[in-house]
A = this chain, B = another copy of it.
Amino acid sequence: MTLLILCGGSGTRLWPISRSNLPKQFFPLFESGSLFESTLARNLHIIDKHCIAVSAKHTDLAIGDMGKKNVNASIILEEPCGRNTAPAIALISMALDPEEILLVSPSDHLIVNESAYKTAIARASELALQGKIVTFGIKPNYPETGFGYIQHEGEKVIRFVEKPNQEVAKSYLESGDYLWNAGLFCFKAGVFLTELKKYAPDIFQACQTVFEKQKDKKRIAPNREEMESIPSVSVDYAVMEKTDRVAVVPCDMGWSDLGSFDSLYDLAVEEGSQNSSFTQEDALFLNSSQNLVIARGDKKVVLVDMNDCLVVDTPDALLVMRRGSSQKVKDVVEKLRAENYKQL
């Protein structure tokens, strides 16, 4: 199986650990390294070949992290600008043998239950061999309004649905028929391209034109003009929601998209535990509970009489926030941008 890690994102929802120069997937959040490294590590024994799709300015970060795991990128797509997921997956698929099974993974998600993950991948691989385009559906445990959902019966997809409102999300949770769309996919490269050509011929054609212009088919590096000739569309919209080859593997693998510090808290602070710290030296919590601390390993963090706080420390920025307020990080970033603050 060939792994394609999508690491083009550079969101600010996790500022200050996510910066335009060091997006969250490359931030050393754990003792064991970054989320990108975790993604590599999780797949190390099930993957023969690695591909990455990365923003051109972060290529060195990605290759550096791969070096730490003694992994080489067989094919690299360096994007001068982001065009969403469908073009990235298409360009990489064009560089592969049509029969190769491709596992597409985001680089900035957390998966805690690796055994459930491996079971799900094994099943997806079987389905992909049968010509299916496989998605992974996470059993929801609360009515999240920030994700897309997949209505399903077993491995059969009934329909994909857009981000619901609170009421609808609650009804999805109660019905038990809906899964979160995890953004992980598995298929034969050739099957994906066939379906893309069928349902989004403009994207297929634009990608093919760009691909054919590339001298080095192992290091695909379109210029900005070439890249901008490709429509910016998600793989869900371009293919998944349309193809009749789609299947879903339901799974419960302790997944989080780490879209906010509150979601990181939910995942990190296990039921029954009081606080969590992403540090090498343990943080010291005095009469403090329900806190999440993120700091570099050599920093000693002490909380006294603090509850329900998110503390995120980096060498040049410190964020102290009430739990439940992490959606306001975007307001913080906007304000800092308005102040001409450079470290965003």
Residues of A within 8 A of B (CB): 16, 284, 286-287, 295, 298-306, 309, 311, 313, 315-322, 324-325, 328-329, 331-332, 335-336, 339, 341, 343
Contact = CB atoms under 8 A, between A and B. Distances in A.
A324 to B, nearest CB: 8
A339 B298 CA distance: 15
B316 A298 contact: yes
Given A286-B332, A335-B284, A299 B325 contact: no
User: Main SS of the interface on chain A?
Assistant: mixed
A306 B318 contact: no
Given A304-B325, A325-B304, A325-B305, A318 B332 contact: no
Contact of A305 (B304, B317, B328): B328
B316 A304 contact: no
A73 to B, nearest CB: 34
B341 A300 contact: yes
Number of copies: 2
B341 A316 contact: no
Contacts of A309: 306, 320
Nearest to A261: B304
A302 B320 contact: yes
B304 A321 contact: yes
A179 B305 CA distance: 33
Contacts of A318: 295, 299-302, 311, 313, 318
Nearest to A310: B304
Contacts of A322: 304-306
Contacts of A321: 302-306
A303 B311 CA distance: 10
A134 B309 CA distance: 49
A300 B335 contact: no
Nearest to A321: B304
A321 B287 CA distance: 10
Contacts of A319: 302-304
A304 B284 contact: no
Contacts of A341: 300
B284 A332 contact: yes
A311 B299 CA distance: 15
A97 B331 CA distance: 64
Contacts of A303: 319-321
20 contacts: A16-B302, A284-B335, A284-B336, A284-B339, A286-B331, A287-B328, A299-B316, A299-B317, A299-B318, A300-B341, A301-B317, A303-B320, A304-B329, A305-B324, A305-B325, A306-B320, A306-B322, A309-B320, A311-B320, A313-B313
B304 A16 contact: no
Contacts of A343: 300
A280 to B, nearest CB: 12
